[in-house]
Chains A and B, each alone.
Chain A
Amino acid sequence: MSAPDEPNGAPADNRPERSGGKLPERLFEAGTEWLRAGGEASDVVLSSRARIARNLAGQLFVHKAAPTDLRLVLEACRDVLESIPLGARNTWLELHESPAVERSLLLERHLISSQFAKGKLGPKRRSNDWPRAVIFGLPDERSAVMVNEEDHLRLQVIRSGLALREAWAEADAIDDRIEAGLDYAFSPRLGYLTACPTNVGTGVRFSVMLHLPGLRMAGEIEKVKHAAADMSLAVRGFYGEGSEAFGDFYQLSNQTTLGKSEAQLLDELAEKILPEVIEYERQSRQRLLEKRRWQLEDTVHRAIGVLHHARLLGVDETMKLLSIVRLGVCLGVVDTIDVTALHRLMLLVQPTHLQQAAGKNLAQDGRKRERARAVRERLAAM
């Protein structure tokens, strides 16, 4: 175990001090890969994601390590990560130095996890004394690595639509390049060693973000949840672990990581359960169209009406309405609205994005007013 002598907060070595990075200007306006609305089965699958957890050999895990240890890990990882192109250009951001609003923006863009944004990892790890960073590729933000999250490295690649294999291939290649520069904690018996035993083995989690309004309206969501549980898959909300499903968006992911190869884990999700869920959702939507067309059209157009005319909109309500409109667009009930524009709106109405676009901090009521105004303006422009 490394046990550096420096007092807390002292520079770990003699290298010139580097900046903690800067958030790209007007990032809140940019589109991201996961909202591109392209790729296979994109009527049901918003995005596919491969996540890899890795730790450095001979280092304490993050929640146990002293801030000086974590600083060393951060610097070692930074050297390697900055040499790997994660997009046209990389952006490195140190989150213990960044304001809460920046972290919240990254969370809303699915670039970091909720505990990483909040800066809470057990009683010892608080935001200010927890050296941690994220590096991601611009302009599409599809590859990102969190350094010193629960594990030293959490790499994710997100692709639009159903593209788990492509996401895994990219993540695997980035992982190879990181590994060429850093020694991973690995055991021949247990595989990649992670802070939590539930991730040990491959350290890989595959997930897909699904839009399931048809199954929800048919009252079949519980069946999907049970089927997923039977196959040891987890069903989570829009913002991952512990978050609620709003607007009929659900994340489906594998839970076991030991004893199955990455290819097996991928097949279980991509070949077994997903085609069925996608098919059931499409069938439910078709039934709505065939048997309850007028009710469906009414629901969709009422949603558009509210979005056009409301003067106060909460985020939950807005997501529900946008979800219904998305269903209408996918079924051809509405042809004046573009899915990509709708997706961008889904991001824009999130609290931090909304305030960044407005250029000011807003209290809850102010946000509701601003959200209604922004939605109105964007819909009018479509």
Chain B
Amino acid sequence: MPIGGRGLGSYTAPGVNCDRCENEATVHEVTISDGQVLEVHLCEVCAQETGVVSGSPAPVEEILKKIAAGKAAEPTAACEACGTTFAQFKQAGRLGCPECYQALEKQLGPILDRAHQGAVHHVGKVPKRMMQLGGEGAGLVDRAAALAAAQSRAEQIRRLRADLARAVNAEHYEQAAQIRDRLRQLQHGAGTDSETAEGTA
């Protein structure tokens, strides 16, 4: 999303902390405003709050104001089934129980995204008992086919993100802008499918 001026899109830069809180930044924006290159690094949650990854463009001043307003409150969600918090997960590197995936869904999003190259849906084997659940089971089978198609799109997005990072690093801003536009088209396509849109960066 352009943050005022000319937006150059996102790229990956592992190990950088969010400008607003202490989480690892997963959204990195480079823009040119009045001839100056401006870099913003945000985590998933802050990126959404500031509108960097939402549909509505926000002027750079507003975003910087929000960032300057201080650290966002640490998410304190805990799994109701086992009590595991996101902080505990980060420390142990393991979740407490199967329910944690649902309870900590928001915070886990960027982690799953990184670990699995942007994939957000299971494709592949399904327990037979799920297949025997009638409607739901049949739905799963249909979805497996649909997801196989979505997979190639995810792979394209991953490649484009890497290209974008390279173009930005090499300061080929025009090329970067073109790649960003192609990425948006693809991501917009994904956005029309409510199943595949959730959790994407």
- B115: Cβ under 8 A from any A Cβ: yes
- A183: Cβ under 8 A from any B Cβ: yes
- B63: Cβ under 8 A from any A Cβ: no
Chain B residue with Cβ nearest A195: B94
Pick the residue among B93, B97, B101, B154 that contacts A190 (CB under 8 A): B101
Give min CB distance, A188 to chain B, whole Å.
Answer: 5
**Contact between chains at A259 and B121 (CB < 8 Å):** yes
Complex Cα spacing A85 to B192, Å: 48
Complex Cα spacing A99 to B62, Å: 64
Pick the residue among A60, A189, A232, A256 that contacts B97 (CB under 8 A): A60
Q: A190-B122, A201-B122 are in contact. Are A258 and B112 (CB under 8 A)?
A: yes
**Contact between chains at B130 and A264 (CB < 8 Å):** no
Query: What chain B residues lie within 8 Å of A257 (beta carbons)?
Result: 116
- B127: Cβ under 8 A from any A Cβ: yes
Query: What chain A residues lie within 8 Å of B84 (beta carbons)?
Result: 64
Q: A61-B94, A63-B92 are in contact. Are A197 and B115 (CB under 8 A)?
A: yes
State the majority secondary structure of interface residues on A. Answer: loop
Bitwise, A173-214 to B at CB < 8 A (1) or not (0) is 001100110011111111111011110111010000000000
**Contact between chains at B120 and A122 (CB < 8 Å):** no
Give min CB distance, A260 to chain B, whole Å.
Answer: 6
Query: What chain B residues lie within 8 Å of A356 (beta carbons)?
Result: none
Give min CB distance, A228 to chain B, whole Å.
Answer: 15
Query: What chain B residues lie within 8 Å of A191 (beta carbons)?
Result: 122-125
Chain A residue with Cβ nearest B99: A1
**Contact between chains at B148 and A261 (CB < 8 Å):** yes
- A150: Cβ under 8 A from any B Cβ: yes
Chain A residue with Cβ nearest B162: A230
**Contact between chains at B116 and A184 (CB < 8 Å):** no
Pick the residue among A179, A196, A256, A262 that contacts B127 (CB under 8 A): A179
**Contact between chains at B94 and A122 (CB < 8 Å):** yes
Pick the residue among A122, A188, A204, A263 that contacts B136 (CB under 8 A): A188
Query: What chain A residues lie within 8 Å of B130 (beta carbons)?
Result: 186, 188
Query: What chain B residues lie within 8 Å of A185 (beta carbons)?
Result: 98
- A299: Cβ under 8 A from any B Cβ: no
Pick the residue among A60, A63, A195, A260 that contacts B151 (CB under 8 A): A260
Bitwise, A55-67 to B at CB < 8 A (1) or not (0) is 1011111011000
Query: What chain B residues lie within 8 Å of A64 (beta carbons)?
Result: 82, 84, 94, 96-97
**Contact between chains at A259 and B98 (CB < 8 Å):** no
Query: What chain B residues lie within 8 Å of A190 (beta carbons)?
Result: 101, 112, 121-122
**Contact between chains at A187 and B101 (CB < 8 Å):** yes
Give min CB distance, B117 to chain A, whole Å.
Answer: 6
Q: A61-B94, A197-B108 are in contact. Are A258 and B115 (CB under 8 A)?
A: yes
What are the 9 closest A-B residue pairs judged by CB atoms, nearest first? A259-B119, A191-B122, A261-B124, A185-B98, A258-B116, A64-B96, A193-B98, A195-B94, A198-B115
